[in-house]
Homo-oligomer: A and B are copies of this chain.
Amino acid sequence: MKRSRCGAWCLMLASGSALATSSGHTGELLFGLFWVVLAAALMGTVASRFGIPAVVGQVVAGLLIGPSVLKLVRPEEFFLTLAEIGAIFLLFMVGLETRLGELLRVGREALLVAVLGIALPLVLGFGFGFWQGQANVSALFVGTALVATSVGITAKVLQELGVLNDPFAQVILGAAVIDDILGLTLLAVVSGLGAGQDTTAAQVGLTLGLSVGFVALVLTVGIPLVRRGQARLQELSLSRAFNVALVVGLGLAALSTVAGLAPIIRAFLAGMVLAEVKDEVAFESTVHAIEAFLAPVFFVVVGLQVNLGALTQLPVVIAGLVLTVLAVAGKLLGGLLGARSLGRREATLVGLGMVPRGEVGLIVASLGLGAGLIGEPVYAEVLLMVLLTTVLAPLALRALLRRERLVQQAP
């Protein structure tokens, strides 16, 4: 505890000392980073003090320093990219704590949760848009935004509470990987429809096949390869070992570009592959330090992107609240039905874990607005839904886990 406090202390002083007189815009960006780090440290600590997950405090911190309230920092490309690197290290870290065997043991549940957690929100979102009188494509886009899952938010909360290796957490992680594959395919199809292109079943099948094949390949070929390679790598000279890493890294890179998976899911897979050898090689603390620096940046930037300026009209706010209820209901029901076999309490946890829409929901909404497929009011409704699910789900998750632990300790 003492250590992490001083890490943040230092980071703040280092960033503070980096404030800008230097070359123009770079200086402004460093200044912005100072605010982001400061806000993350401050709000994260305040949240933890009140028994709220630090993640929630950091998303709210982003909302506060962003364009909606204090206008200190704009969500520029630099911050978006740095945030993505933060998410990558976070998921890489989570992957390091995951063993394939344990994940496969709950494979059936994960698949069910993922499929139901896509189908139910899609139908609910489309129905809502249809009922609102939106065009078909617009209603489809609302449905797609409801499908998004931000595994980063949930993963961090589970990591904070130290329950990443519980069966329900494994179901969430497995379902997130499947969700990502199916969700991105859906997004491609809907975007294609919006652009007036008909996507053939063959194309959809190809995209799906590539993604699934890639994941299967990494897990079935990558893990044995790393296991076998490790023994040889330790004998190899430094530069030779790097050449091997180069080939592995480039190969993985080329393959995953073709497969079209989200970077954070690939980072999760890479972490999982390396988890097999992590006990022999001490790289965990290095990755952890970088994650401790950049993951809070990711959460703040999620908040930063939510510009609540459009939420001035009561009908939009009410529609956004209804959408939020549907978003929660869809994923919760998906979890309850899909993970039924784990028992009701665990299934509820799974459902809650799938609720946060986070940065994925924001990306879908921005794509739709940018392509002219949804209008400003619908965009604002989706934004409110993303913010509420991202902030409320971790609160509920933590509260439920606390209560469960008390019940377990009682007898």
Contact = CB atoms under 8 A, between A and B. Distances in A.
A12 B274 CA distance: 12
30 contacts: A1-B238, A3-B286, A5-B241, A6-B286, A8-B242, A8-B245, A9-B241, A9-B245, A9-B283, A12-B246, A13-B249, A13-B273, A14-B92, A14-B287, A16-B270, A18-B263, A18-B267, A19-B254, A22-B262, A27-B263, A30-B84, A38-B246, A38-B249, A41-B242, A42-B243, A46-B239, A49-B237, A49-B239, A77-B77, A286-B289
B289 A285 contact: yes
A274 B9 CA distance: 10
B22 A84 contact: yes
If over half of A's interface residues share one DSSP class (helix, strand or loop), that class is named, otherwise mixed; here it is helix
A17 interface: yes
Given A23-B363, A289-B289, A18 B283 contact: no
Given A81-B78, A246-B42, A249-B38, A283 B17 contact: no
A16 B244 CA distance: 13
A369 interface: no
Interface in A1-43: 1-3, 5-23, 25-27, 29-30, 33-34, 38, 41-42
A45 B85 contact: no
Contacts of A357: none
Given A2-B282, A238-B5, A267 B77 contact: no
B10 A286 contact: yes
B287 A290 contact: no
A132 interface: no
Interface of A: 1-3, 5-23, 25-27, 29-30, 33-34, 38, 41-42, 45-46, 48-49, 77-78, 80-82, 84-85, 88-89, 92, 234, 237-239, 241-243, 245-246, 248-250, 252-254, 256-257, 260-263, 266-267, 269-271, 273-274, 281-283, 285-290, 292-293, 363
Contact of A252 (B13, B237, B239, B263): B13
Contacts of A30: 81, 84-85, 88, 263
Contacts of A82: 82
A261 B254 CA distance: 44
A85 B49 CA distance: 30
A13 B274 contact: yes
Contacts of A20: 257, 263
Given A26-B81, A285-B285, 11 more contacts: A1-B238, A8-B245, A9-B245, A11-B287, A17-B252, A17-B253, A18-B85, A29-B81, A285-B289, A286-B293, A290-B293
Nearest to A226: B13
Contact of A257 (B2, B12, B21, B283): B21
A28 to B, nearest CB: 10
A355 B223 CA distance: 48
B274 A26 contact: no
Given A81-B78, A363-B23, A17 B289 contact: no
Contacts of A246: 12, 38, 42
Contacts of A89: 14
A181 to B, nearest CB: 12
Given A16-B252, A257-B21, A260-B21, A26 B84 contact: yes
A290 B7 CA distance: 11
A21 B281 contact: no
Contacts of A237: 49
A84 B78 CA distance: 13
Most chain B CB atoms below 10 A, which of A81, A82, A243, A288: A81
Contacts of A270: 13-14, 16-17
A46 to B, nearest CB: 6
